């Protein structure tokens, strides 16, 4: 079974449509699946819109709502707490990357005997249509990551990834980054603990052509990256952390709605 974690922040206008498209895609692929929409403290009614998708596909869709916006990484960690599948996929809610990629990800996972397969904009087979600014940022970040961590991948940031459950059970309890460099901390630790990571080609149709990378976000990613290096190479923090226990990031309240007609359970 595959659990698809779809973090969403202020996606009310498109989340129901994108979730339903993901459901239809997975049905067509013949994959046993569930979709967990994780509302990362949205202010625009994203959770209400997601309930429409739950009503349409109650056997496949669930909602996890974080009461505060703590970042995509935190949302994914919270969502993983409720995933039931032996495989877990990360999929961005904006659908820049289509869920049909996941069929090829499983093929690569089996062929390469990989524990994780990640989308890569730098894969020779990728078709990428996104702003030059992001291309430049991605390239320099790849160089930095390779120098600091020796990570055998060219792209850590693309928003579609597939994991065997055991990888996340080992790695997620150790992570500290909630927002800016979560993907790097996750993959660096997966590699550090001996899991095999493979890259897959992707087709990206960047939906938000008007958006730009904020300089403060770039700076925060850089600071988080330095902190991960310090914890891994200097403090050996990740080696000292137990691989078991509650992996829910932070201490925030999380509300889980299986259906809108059921009582809201506060955890």
249, pLDDT greater than 70: no
Q: Can you point out the beta strands (E) in 53-205?
A: 61-66, 87-91, 116-120, 127-129, 160-164, 197-201, 203-205
Query: What is the distance between the alpha carbons of residues 10 and 14, in angstroms, rounded to a whole number?
Result: 9
- Indicate the burial class of 136 (C-beta count within 10 angstroms; 0-12, 13-18, 19 or more): exposed
155, pLDDT greater than 50: yes
What are residue 211's phi and psi, to 5 degrees? -80, 155
**Apex 217 CA angle, 241 and 76, nearest 5:** 45
- Predicted confidence (pLDDT) per residue in 104-139, tens digit: 999 999 999 999 999 999 999 999 877 788 888 888
> Which pLDDT score is estimated for 247?
44
> Which pLDDT score is estimated for 214?
78
- Indicate the burial class of 190 (C-beta count within 10 angstroms; 0-12, 13-18, 19 or more): buried
The pLDDT mean for the chain works out to 88
> Which pLDDT score is estimated for 205?
73
CATH code where residue 157 lies: 3.90.550.10
Mean pLDDT of 140-160: 93
**Residue 91 sits in which domain range?**
2-266
> Which pLDDT score is estimated for 262?
35
Strand order in the sheet with 160-164: 197-201, 116-120, 160-164, 87-91, 2-8, 33-40, 61-66, 254-257, 265-266
Q: What percent of the chain has pLDDT over 70?
A: 88
Pick the more confident residue, 204 or 38.
38
pLDDT band at 227 (very low <50, low <70, confident <90, very high): very high
> Which pLDDT score is estimated for 166?
97
For β-strands 2-8 and 87-91, DSSP reports them as parallel
213, pLDDT greater than 80: no
Least confident of 30-39, 187-196, 204-213, 240-249: 240-249
Residues in CB range of 256: below 8 A, 6 or more apart: 62, 63, 64, 65, 82, 264, 265, 267
Q: Give per-residue burial for 81-115: e unless 16+ CB within 10 Å, then b.
A: bbbebebbbbbbbbbbbbbebbebbbebbeeeebb
pLDDT band at 207 (very low <50, low <70, confident <90, very high): low
pLDDT band at 245 (very low <50, low <70, confident <90, very high): very low
- Predicted confidence (pLDDT) per residue in 95-106, tens digit: 989 999 999 999
Query: What is the distance between the alpha carbons of residues 62 and 75, in angstroms, rounded to a whole number?
Result: 14
**Could you tell me if 108 and 117 are in contact, meaning their C-beta atoms sit under 8 angstroms apart?**
yes
236, pLDDT greater than 60: yes
> Which pLDDT score is estimated for 139?
87
Number of structural domains the chain divides into: 1
Mean pLDDT of 223-235: 96
Q: Can you point out the beta strands (E) in 96-190?
A: 116-120, 127-129, 160-164
């Amino acid at each position: 079974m595959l659990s698809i974690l779809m973090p969403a922040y202020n996606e009310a206008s498109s989340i129901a449509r994108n979730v339903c498209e993901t459901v239809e895609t997975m049905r067509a692929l013949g994959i046993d699946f569930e979709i967990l929409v994780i509302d990362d403290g949205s202010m625009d009614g994203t959770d209400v819109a997601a309930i429409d998708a739950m009503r349409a596909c109650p056997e496949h869709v669930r909602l996890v709502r974080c009461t505060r916006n703590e970042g995509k990484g935190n949302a994914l960690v919270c969502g993983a707490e409720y995933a039931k599948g032996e495989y877990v996929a990360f999929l961005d809610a904006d659908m820049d990357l289509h869920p049909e990629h996941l069929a090829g990800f499983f093929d690569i996972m089996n062929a390469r005997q990989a524990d994780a397969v990640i989308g890569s904009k730098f894969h020779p087979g990728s078709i990428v249509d996104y702003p030059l600014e992001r291309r430049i940022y991605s390239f320099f970040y790849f160089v930095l990551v390779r120098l600091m961590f020796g990570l055998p991948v060219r792209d850590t940031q693309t928003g579609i990834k597939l994991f065997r459950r055991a990888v996340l059970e080992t790695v997620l309890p150790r992570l500290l980054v909630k927002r800016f460099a979560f993907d790097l901390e996750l993959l660096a630790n997966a590699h550090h603990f001996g899991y095999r990571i493979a890259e897959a080609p992707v087709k990206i149709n960047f939906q938000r052509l008007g958006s730009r990378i904020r300089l403060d976000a770039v700076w925060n990613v850089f600071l988080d990256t330095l902190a991960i290096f310090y914890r891994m190479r200097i403090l050996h923090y990740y080696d000292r952390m137990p691989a078991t226990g509650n992996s829910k990031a932070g201490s925030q309240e999380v509300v889980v709605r299986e259906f809108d007609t059921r009582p809201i359970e506060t955890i």
